[in-house]
Structure 1
């Protein structure tokens, strides 16, 4: 078992359940998935935050009557490949974080299911799922290197962007093959 503290946990103990108390936090965390590819944010090989790469968090934690409201941004770099031409992609992403973590024994905790709103547990908020959701929800199903990417030629498999405008393949109806052999 690892003795390293969980970098996704932020202490809210000093807020003491007093509405109006606010603090800021910045932290750079290694993206999950280095040990377990299934834990990666996104789909590795299609478009994902590379396992072990940096995710920068710039947050504001505010104590409100029902819990701790966390707002701010999560910044990371995505890598993958274009779904049309299979070229490598790399782009920076900045996602907005806005989440209420319910205090134990609050009305919010009592009236919501545990999978609806995250909870403050042992005076800590765990932002891993919140950050994962913020980044993954905006990932495109079919990432593109550019909106007008022409893709690959279905005949030869070359990138159409690299081929000239006069690139063509002779297509012969198989019913005419015998005539072509006779004339050659």
Structure 2
């Protein structure tokens, strides 16, 4: 998870202060809080509404390299069913785990998260974790029938919905022909019988 190099606001609900831990390996602090969801947590179809509550329970543990964050976040997801386009809403709990390195530690990975003035920002971690956990095709229910491809009717509300017999467009030109033979055909058939 990458940590942006912006100035962190200690008043943000997703910014945590690790100053109390110092650099004593084994020091631990448990935090529970409700923060506001940031913008852009989700996809075009489903995501976390900006400003909605995010219930966070984390444990900050001081380790040799930095501060290890483990815990959970519960978010509300809203979006649209991919089959019937009805609004959907659900609650989702995601697991959080990230090591925030001390500023003087050399990372193995250039995109490693870092402490900034004893503050750590959970926003990038929350965003990445929630987005990776989102369903690729969100559905209102597993057996959603979707919409009628011809008229757009909701097939969940009207499961017996039909449009009668469909005519293959390749044979549509023949649809005006009648099954009854005309007079000349009847005469020809009569002669053949004799």
| TM-score for both structures, normalised by structure 1 | 0.84
SS class of match (1:179)? coil
Query: Does residue 94 of structure 2 align to residue 95 of structure 1?
Result: yes
> Structure 2: how far apart are the matches of 1:65 and 1:164?
61
SS class of match (1:160)? coil
Q: Residues 69-124 of structure 1, C-alpha deviation per residue, up to 9 Å, x if partnerless? A: 00110101100010001111000000000111111222xxx142331x20111111
Q: Residue 50 of structure 1 corresponds to which residue in structure 2?
A: 49
> Structure 2: how far apart are the matches of 1:111 and 1:131?
21
Q: Residue 113 of structure 1 corresponds to which residue in structure 2?
A: 109
Counterpart contact for 2:41–2:48, Cα < 8 Å: yes
**1:166/1:30 Cα in 2 relative to 1: closer, same or farther (>3 Å)?**
closer
Displacement after TM superposition at 1:142 (Å): 1.3
> Over the residues paired in the alignment, what is the CA RMSD in angstroms?
2.0
> Structure 1: how far apart are the matches of 2:110 and 2:20?
24
> Structure 1: how far apart are the matches of 2:41 and 2:107?
30
Q: Residues 114-150 of structure 1, C-alpha deviation per residue, up to 9 Å, x if partnerless? A: 31x2011111111100111111101112111122211
Superposition misfits of 4+ residues, deviation over 3 angstroms: none
Query: Does residue 28 of structure 2 align to residue 22 of structure 1?
Result: yes
Counterpart contact for 1:155–1:169, Cα < 8 Å: no
Which of the numbers 158, 162, 174 marks the counterpart of 1:176? Answer: 174
Q: Residue 68 of structure 1 corresponds to which residue in structure 2?
A: 67
> Structure 2: how far apart are the matches of 1:59 and 1:98?
9
Counterpart contact for 1:81–1:89, Cα < 8 Å: yes
**1:96/1:43 Cα in 2 relative to 1: closer, same or farther (>3 Å)?**
same
Q: Which ranges in structure 1 are unaligned for 5 or more consecutive residues? A: 34-39
> Structure 2: how far apart are the matches of 1:137 and 1:166?
37
Give the aligned length: 168
Which of the numbers 108, 117, 125 marks the counterpart of 1:122? Answer: 117
Q: Which ranges in structure 2 are unaligned for 5 or more consecutive residues? A: 1-8, 179-194
**1:143/1:164 Cα in 2 relative to 1: closer, same or farther (>3 Å)?**
closer
